[in-house]
Chains A and B, each alone.
Chain A
Amino acid sequence: MTDTNTVTVVRDESLIKKTKAKSIAGKIGIYAFLVIYAIIILFPFFVVILTSFKTAADASNPEFSWWPTEGFTIEGYEAALTSPLVPTPLMRAFLNTLMYVIPPTILGLMTSSLAAYAFAKLRFRASKAMYTALLATMMIPGAITISSTYTVFDTIGWVGTPLPLMIPGAFGSAACVFFMRQFFTGIPDSIIEAAKLDGVGFVGIFFTIMVPLSTPALIAQGLLGFIGGYNDYLWPLLYTNVPGMQTLQISLKQFTGMFGSRPNIVMAGTLVALVPTLIIYFFAQDFFIEGIAASGIKG
């Protein structure tokens, strides 16, 4: 800690002027930095959008053009969405992804938040031990169990089915329990006690009090869970890498091999794959950012 005992305020006008000038220069520097960084983040998206509307020849022209020289075309999108070369057509892969991701996200959200409610508001002897065990799971690196998990799913015949992508998530996630517990803890006990006196049971309290009071948090967690599943790469690569069953990400990944010389198609596919998560993000950014900030601070 710095010692603040020697506070001497000197009213030196020239000094104040000098520091003011310095701080203005500093401000400009900071804004310049922040703007440049924002451009660096946005620039690749500009390139993707631009390229996706170019012709194949234009997109692979060694002389990079900042505007489609052969005019705007949607041939990249047509090929990305309808090309028979793609083992799992993009739209099919998109529907596959929704089918694999939405049910476990909803179920997992429910199981996680029920558990979080138990940890936050119910008293039971094993509470602390169970909570510690759950937090410990967040520490286990997923990579260690890739081979043995594959053996398990191979043995029970789940390889080549979406079940390995769906079933584990339905049990909930430690991170979601952790986050929702923080949130539920903030809900005053007095409301719960009142409901108890009215004869509402534990699960009833969860649905009539906890859920309505924490809808934004639940939505944030649900959306984060959905985006995590939607963007996942390793597990769909391991378990549903079969033509017709592939997820959007796996299907998209194959674009580089198939359309290597026609980058306009690859970029169109990339943009199509990005749009859903970007839309969700733009509409729910506050939920997201606050949800993530809250989960990290307490960690």
Chain B
Amino acid sequence: MASEFEVATNVGEADQTAFPEDVVLTENPIPVKETQRKKGNKEEIAGTLLASIPLVGFVIFGMIPLLMALAMAFLYMPRFGFEGAEFNGFKNFVTVLTDDMFWQSVWNTVLLGLSTFISLALALVVAYFLSKDIKGRKAFRMIYFIPYVCSVVAITLMWGYMFNTNWGIINHLLGRTGENAIDWMGEAGPYRLAVIIMSVWSGMGYGIILFTAALTNVNKEMIEAAEIDGANAWVRFWRIVFPSISPTTFYLLVMGVIGMLQSFAVTNVLNGGNSPDGVGITIVYYLYNRIFNYIGAMGEASASAWILGIIILGLTVFQFWGSKKWVNYD
């Protein structure tokens, strides 16, 4: 972009971002657009520099570890670092993929991850009700969002107490005390159910907020018109409301699945790997276990990490592909 106007500036090339006060334009009658064009070069440098800080962080702490994990997946590493590391081909992948424990962890993750879909569906119901002409909507919304700001550890401890076999309030409310007590933390089925319940309880708030925001943008006139046409509430919801909030649903679904495949904290806090029949061992727990409880298994941990990454990528691509059928961007 050639400069058509001379604008006097006294800026040294180097210090324009550090000392912005030095940027002095003389009074001039040049239209704004033209000034901007003249300042293009400085703007170019300032913009690139400012925008690059988060990117540098991403390269150092995201991109490099990502590629390193790929390299490490093909190495045998005696310890955490690279000293003594040897190339061992696809052996780590073979070890992981032929490990029953790994496949069990995949299955566990999927079963516990059902909470993602349950909480999304319930969040939509709650948000839909909230979008009606409701008194105290703000208060409800405020309460529903509380779990979002609570830590996984705190949530797990409080629910762990409530699910306690001997003195927990849940067995008390169910009338299952003494001999009949449900062993929530000691049996596979109840354990899974307990984890799903606490995950749904803590996971719904985010969905409710996003759905509520999306629902306020649904075309009210269209709903009224359909009502006059005799469409009942069920039809109105699926024909008008649901399609118009489908981008939000899709976003929550994609992010929810990505997050659910990486679940770790709840079962780790609950009983750190001593879950009944190991049903609390998720994929990330498997990987974590390789790093800290096996010697020389960094390669296997990285291989399982990449397998997890491929699963996540596959499911995300699948969801984007499927979204063409039901997600409606206007």
Contacts and interface: CB of A to CB of B under 8 A. Distances in A.
Nearest to B46: A202
Interface in A270-295: 270, 273-274, 277-278, 280-281, 285, 288-289, 292-294
B147 to A, nearest CB: 7
A156 to B, nearest CB: 10
Contacts of A141: 258, 261-262, 308-309, 312
A234 interface: yes
A41 B147 contact: yes
A204 B21 contact: yes
B56 interface: yes
Given A4-B229, A59-B167, A47 B158 contact: yes
Interface in A90-111: 111
A270 B157 contact: yes
Contact of B51 (A8, A124, A147, A294): A124
Contact of B213 (A117, A174, A273, A296): A296
Contacts of B61: 149, 167-168, 171
A57 to B, nearest CB: 10
Contacts, number: 350
A34 B131 CA distance: 12
Contact of A199 (B25, B152, B201, B222): B25
Contact of A201 (B22, B161, B306): B22
B145 A289 contact: yes
B98 interface: no
A86 interface: no
Given A44-B158, A202-B16, A288-B145, A118 B291 contact: no
Among the interface residues A63, A141, A143, A277, which one has the most CB atoms of the partner chain B within 10 A?
A143
A104 B48 CA distance: 22
A64 B172 contact: yes
Given A41-B144, A47-B162, A273-B153, A127 B265 contact: no
Interface string B139-164: 01111111101111110011111101
Given A34-B140, A60-B167, A122 B248 contact: no
Given A7-B228, A62-B177, A285-B145, A201 B21 contact: yes
B178 A296 contact: no
Given A130-B52, A281-B146, A34 B153 contact: no
Interface string B158-183: 11111010111100100001100000
Contacts of A25: none
A233 B157 CA distance: 13
Interface stretch (A67-75, A212-220, A252-260): A252-260
A287 B309 CA distance: 34
B54 A147 contact: no
A82 interface: no
Interface in B57-97: 57-58, 60-62, 64-66, 68-69, 72, 77, 80-82
Given A44-B158, A143-B284, A249 B151 contact: yes
Nearest to B316: A139
Interface residues of B, number: 119
A297 B210 contact: yes
Interface string A216-256: 00000000000100110110010000000000011011011
B153 A249 contact: yes
B195 interface: no
A299 B210 CA distance: 10
Contact of A263 (B22, B35, B164, B255): B164
B225 interface: yes
A154 B78 CA distance: 13
Nearest to B240: A2
A297 B43 CA distance: 30
A249 B301 CA distance: 25
A51 interface: yes
Interface string A18-46: 00000000010011011001101110110
Interface string B288-328: 10110000001001100110110010001000000000000
Contact of B82 (A27, A41, A155): A155
A203 B22 CA distance: 11
A167 B20 CA distance: 27
Contacts of B222: 1-2, 4
Contacts of A197: 25, 32, 35
A148 B69 contact: yes
B242 to A, nearest CB: 13
Contacts of A125: 44, 48
A47 B213 CA distance: 32
B228 A277 contact: no
B302 A147 contact: yes
A281 B151 CA distance: 13
Nearest to B24: A199
Contacts of A47: 158, 161-162, 169
A147 B69 contact: yes
12 contacts: A4-B222, A31-B134, A33-B125, A34-B134, A147-B291, A201-B23, A202-B16, A237-B268, A253-B157, A256-B157, A266-B157, A289-B142
Given A154-B81, A266-B161, 11 more contacts: A30-B134, A31-B134, A115-B52, A134-B58, A141-B261, A143-B262, A148-B305, A151-B298, A167-B61, A253-B153, A296-B206
Interface of A: 1-4, 6-9, 27, 30-31, 33-34, 37-38, 40-42, 44-45, 47-48, 51, 59-64, 111-112, 114-115, 117-119, 122-127, 130-131, 133-134, 137, 139-152, 154-155, 159, 167-168, 170-174, 177, 193, 196-197, 199-205, 227, 230-231, 233-234, 237, 249-250, 252-253, 255-256, 263, 266-267, 269-270, 273-274, 277-278, 280-281, 285, 288-289, 292-294, 296-297, 299
